[in-house]
Amino acid sequence: MELSASVKLARTESGLEYFDVNGPLCQAKIYLQGAQITEFIPAGQKNLLWVSEDETYLEGQSIRGGIPICWPWFGVHAEPDWPAHGFARKQVWRAERVEEDESAIRIVLSLPMVSIDRTFWPHESSLTVEFVLSDQLEVKLTNTNTGSETFSLTQALHTYFPTPAIAQTRVDGLQGAQYIEFGEGPFTQDEVVTFARETDMVYTQAPEVQIIETPDGKIEVGREHSSSCVLWNPWIEKSKRLSNFRDDEYHTMLCLEAANVMDDAVTLAPGESHTLTTKICWLQ
């Protein structure tokens, strides 16, 4: 596979391979493990993604930050021994192509289905992710049913965003959506969301665009082919229990995740495809 002028293949000290992108429009890092982007810096601006300072980048462990891909289920499975958030974020994906022109760099990865334990996923399908890197970041996760039987799945692009101060951060654009939190609800979101405690809200009927207002600026977060999203901050006590996460890092991050969960789950008949998309950028 040919790389472009702005894209190199690099490796961490721990052995994980990643695409190191250094182009005129942005810088980025995309790991083959998990097909996970951990850095996206538009030219002249700050990083749009957050990664824990305790992250170790070890083989077989999901990276705490960036955009983990939760697939083919979101959250805890009904089978208690199955991995939370599915298995895609720990698998090594295959690089399919790298393209670059004046408008963007495009990197496409696919999940090798032959490496998947069919106990977890017995269906015939394909899964690809495309990263479109310009002055904004666009991530497209495409499922295709290549078999003869209909199946359903839930999924999320679990985006970690940075903030210098979570207590001074707000999320606008969820008003009118329904949400469930800690198994209770549904409730209606009436106001702009602020943070003063652990937050774990799963939204349905959500508008397609939200604005994260931080002391460093405003981040626009858009979704396509998704009417559900997840807003998360672990706050004080849960931060102490998380792996690869410093006790005080809840001050500096939040997750706003494009999703297909609950009533928004994806059902694909044979031959059908579905693409979950998120788009993020700094607002000027």
Q: In the beta sheet, which residues pair with residue 28? A: 21, 40
Is 158 an annotated catalytic residue?
A: yes
Q: Which two tokens stand for residue 23?
A: 């182009």
Whole-angstrom distance, CA of residue 131 vs CA of residue 100: 12
CA 14 to chain centroid, in Å, comes to: 23
Which H or E run includes 218? strand 217-224
Known catalytic residue at 100: no
Active-site position among 13, 158, 220, 251: 158
| Calpha distance 146→154 (Å, rounded) | 18
- Location of structure tokens 């997750």: 255
End-to-end CA distance of the chain: 36
DSSP assignment letter at 263 = G
CB 91 within 8 A of CB 109: no
Helix (H) or strand (E) holding 81: none
Residue 237, burial from CB neighbour count under 10 angstroms (0-12, 13-18, 19+): exposed
Q: Which of 208, 257, 272, 274 does the annotation list as catalytic?
A: 257
Q: What's the rounded Cα separation, in Å, for the pair 135 and 148?
A: 41
List, by residue number, the catalytic residues: 158, 257
